[in-house]
């Protein structure tokens, strides 16, 4: 980690502070910073510009003159784009200029900008601001004491209202909350001023999670190992769901295929129950009755009738053809 001097509000030396190389010690990535800045400026555009097309301009419903015979160029409307007062062809319409930028790219651009300011030694860290009341003249004196010139980016905590109000009237100072720090504001500023508490990567003063004692470490490790992971839970769920479904036994290697009578293969399509019977049955009872009705074999009388009608089909077709031929001969005789 790099070490920078820690200053007081009056510019005196108050020691030193370490800054995280993850934020202030990388090689700046210029293409990423350019892309993030372009996206940020594009997102600021309101996109409310609008022009009227020929269909939106009032008037122009009638043809100015007839198509032929006048010697002039043919025209269909006085609101065409070539006419004065006409519509605009391919003009701008309201739209959003926002670009989707990955979070990792935004983070890299910010770290690159901070690293660039730290490499130029345009980074100032002070202990605290300590404004008792909003006072712009005191803010000017503080910047003069710190020796910063030009555009200054002042990082102030959200709970420090006096400091924010003291700097907000200065034209060369821009006040930001630590959570609003971005690459564009860092790059357009000549100096960046942090407090020790607002430094990125600073953990001093933040609540830390207590480490497990030596006596608690075995129990904590056992709890982690015994906890089921996501894959285990998914496997148990699949097992549970598969047990609820009916399983069909797979035929063994010695199993033989049994040929059945085609008439036994009754399709359940079109099988209906008597509405009077179905109305008094529950869902499970209706399904049972439907399966019984679909799998039952036709009665012997019905089977004989079906066979007889199938066997008599050619004879009936012959009689129909003969009737048609006889009727045709009678017409020819007449």
DSSP 182-203: -HHHHHT-SEEEEETTTSTT--
Instruction: Round the CA-based radius of gyration of the chain to a whole number and report it.
Output: 44
Q: Which long-range contacts (CB under 8 A, 24 or more apart) does 168-172 make?
A: 169/136, 170/136, 170/139, 170/140, 170/143
Residues 130, 162: one domain? yes
Residues 159, 282: one domain? no
Residues 271, 304: one domain? no
What pLDDT, on a 0 to 100 scale, did the predictor assign at position 115? 94
Residue of 106 and 319 predicted with greater confidence = 106
CB distance 8 to 2 below 8 Å: no
Paired residues of 124 in beta bridges: 193
From 204-208, 279-283, 316-320, the region with the lowest mean pLDDT: 204-208
What pLDDT, on a 0 to 100 scale, did the predictor assign at position 208? 43
What pLDDT, on a 0 to 100 scale, did the predictor assign at position 265? 46
pLDDT tens per residue, range 142-178? 999 999 999 999 999 888 899 999 999 999 999 999 9
167 by DSSP, 3-state: which? helix
What pLDDT, on a 0 to 100 scale, did the predictor assign at position 5? 87
What pLDDT, on a 0 to 100 scale, did the predictor assign at position 288? 72
- In the predicted model, is pLDDT for residue 232 greater than 70? no
Domain end (from 142, 171, 195):
195
Name the CA dihedral angle for 80, 86, 92, 94, rounded to a multiple of 10 degrees.
Answer: -110
Q: Which two tokens stand for residue 137?
A: 């003249």
Residues 176, 284: one domain? no
pLDDT tens per residue, range 49-102? 999 999 999 999 999 999 999 999 999 999 999 999 999 999 999 999 999 999
Residues 277, 155: one domain? no
For residue 175, give its domain range: 2-43+100-195
Residue of 62 and 320 predicted with greater confidence = 62
pLDDT tens per residue, range 174-222? 999 999 999 999 999 999 999 988 888 775 444 444 555 555 555 655 5
Residues 165, 119: one domain? yes
Domain count within the chain:
3
Q: How far is CA 196 from CA 37, 112, 113, 127, 156, in A?
A: 27, 20, 19, 6, 11
């Amino acid at each position: 980690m790099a070490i920078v001097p820690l200053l007081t509000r009056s510019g005196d030396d108050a020691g030193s502070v370490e800054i995280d190389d993850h934020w202030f010690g990388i090689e700046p990535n210029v293409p990423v910073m350019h892309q993030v800045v372009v996206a940020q400026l594009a997102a600021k555009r309101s996109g409310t510009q609008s022009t009227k097309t020929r269909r939106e301009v009032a008037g122009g419903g009638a043809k100015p003159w007839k198509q032929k015979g006048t010697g002039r160029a043919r025209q269909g409307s006085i609101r065409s784009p070539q006419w004065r007062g006409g519509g605009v062809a391919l003009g701008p319409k309201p739209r959003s200029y926002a670009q989707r930028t990955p979070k990792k790219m935004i983070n890299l651009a910010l770290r690159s900008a901070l690293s660039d300011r730290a490499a130029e030694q345009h980074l100032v860290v002070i202990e605290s601001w300590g404004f008792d009341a909003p006072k712009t003249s005191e803010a000017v004196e503080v910047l003069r004491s710190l020796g910063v010139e030009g555009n200054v980016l002042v990082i102030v905590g959200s709970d420090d209202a006096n400091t924010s109000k003291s700097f907000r009237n200065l034209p060369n100072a821009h006040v930001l909350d630590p959570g609003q720090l971005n690459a564009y504001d860092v790059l357009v500023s000549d100096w960046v001023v942090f407090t020790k508490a607002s430094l990125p990567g600073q953990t001093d003063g933040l609540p830390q999670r207590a480490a497990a004692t030596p006596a608690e470490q075995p129990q904590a490790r056992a709890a982690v190992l015994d906890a089921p992971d996501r894959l285990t839970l998914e496997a148990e769920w699949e097992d549970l769901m598969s047990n609820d479904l009916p399983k069909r036994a797979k035929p063994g290697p010695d199993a033989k295929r049994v040929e059945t009578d085609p008439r036994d293969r009754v399709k359940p399509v079109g099988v209906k129950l008597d509405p009077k019977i179905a109305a008094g049955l529950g869902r499970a009872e209706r399904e049972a009755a439907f399966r019984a009705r679909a799998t039952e074999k036709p009665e012997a009388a019905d089977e004989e009738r079906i066979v007889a009608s199938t066997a008599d089909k050619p004879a009936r077709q012959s009689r129909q053809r003969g009737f048609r031929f006889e009727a045709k001969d009678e017409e020819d005789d007449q």
